[in-house]
Amino acid sequence: MNAPTKTDMIAEGKAKLIYNTTDPDCVIFYFKDDATAFNAQKKGTIESKGILNNKISALFFKELKERGVENHFIEQLSEREMLVRKLEIIPVETVTRNIVAGSLQKRTGKPEGFELPNAIVEYYYKDDGLGDPMINDEHILTFGWAKREELDVIHERALQVNEFLKAYMGERGILLVDFKLEFGRTKTGEVLLGDEICPDTCRFWDAKTRKKLDKDRFRQDLGDVEAAYQEIASRVGA
């Protein structure tokens, strides 16, 4: 069967364009090279980022599916395009952390690199206008952003992705510091993992040198940004 084709653009995110397709249950992601940080206060482009993030995300989603972690991925269509199930996005992002960095470092005063005794799952309210504030499960239930059963699925999936990704990257000499996930509902109400999983949305450090191989190179002006994304793509074999 032929893959559905692009029709109208329905959304432009910071890193992707999203198109409706000839199949009402599917959308196409187009991965851009645009990069933003600090709620879009810092803007730039990372050469070939869209190509690398598309193939890295496709590989992770495929591997996750094979291990029973259901997600929206259907197939990679081209260098920059991915066909996925259409989801009604749940406005709750998870960040799962194994090692202290970024906002957790700021919030706790613990040094960057401090290894957590267990993984932590945090929730953030997906709202650019508010700067994606951190929230807890009581906010999520009270404001009706997700139901208890949905949140249980989200939490479990976040930990499953962590177990997979930590081991998969570990075997390739990379530490998984933390990562962000997004989820949505299919039209029958099933909660599915969506969005992307790539060096924009994860922190990856070289296990030996602790060199940052992710978007922190852009956020912190560390240089060699594209090379870091390339390094991740080649280590995972994407």
Positions touching ligand TMP (CB under 6 A) are 95, 101-104, 132, 178-180, 201-203
Alpha helices in the chain (DSSP H): 49-66, 102-108, 137-142, 148-170, 216-219, 225-236
Stretch that binds ligand ASP, among 33-41, 62-70, 74-82, 182-190 (CB under 6 A): 33-41
Q: What tokens does 2 get?
A: 């032929």
All residues at 6 or more sequence positions from 53 whose CB lies less than 8 Å from its CB, including other chains: 15, 31, 196, 198, 199, 200, 229
Nearest residue (beta carbon) to ligand TMP: 102
Binding site partner of 178, from ligand TMP, ligand ASP, none, Cβ cut-off 5-8 A by kind = ligand TMP
Nearer to ligand TMP, 77 or 124 (CB): 124
Nearer to ligand ASP, 3 or 18 (CB): 18
Fill in the DSSP letter of residue 100.
-
Distance between alpha carbon 73 and the CA centroid of its chain, in Å?
A: 13
Nearer to ligand TMP, 24 or 133 (CB): 133
Tell me how far, at minimum, the Cβ of 153 lies from ligand TMP, in Å: 20
The residue within the footprint of ligand ASP, chosen from 37, 119, 120, 121 (CB under 6 A), is 37
User: In 10 A of CB 54, how many CB atoms?
Assistant: 24
Note whether 176 and 165 are within 8 A (CB).
Answer: yes
Nearer to ligand TMP, 14 or 62 (CB): 14
Helices then strands, each counted (H, E), the chain: 6, 15
Is 220 a binder of ligand ASP (CB under 6 A)? Answer: no
Q: In the complex, which residues of this chain contact ligand ASP (CB under 6 A)?
A: 14, 36-37, 39-40, 215, 219
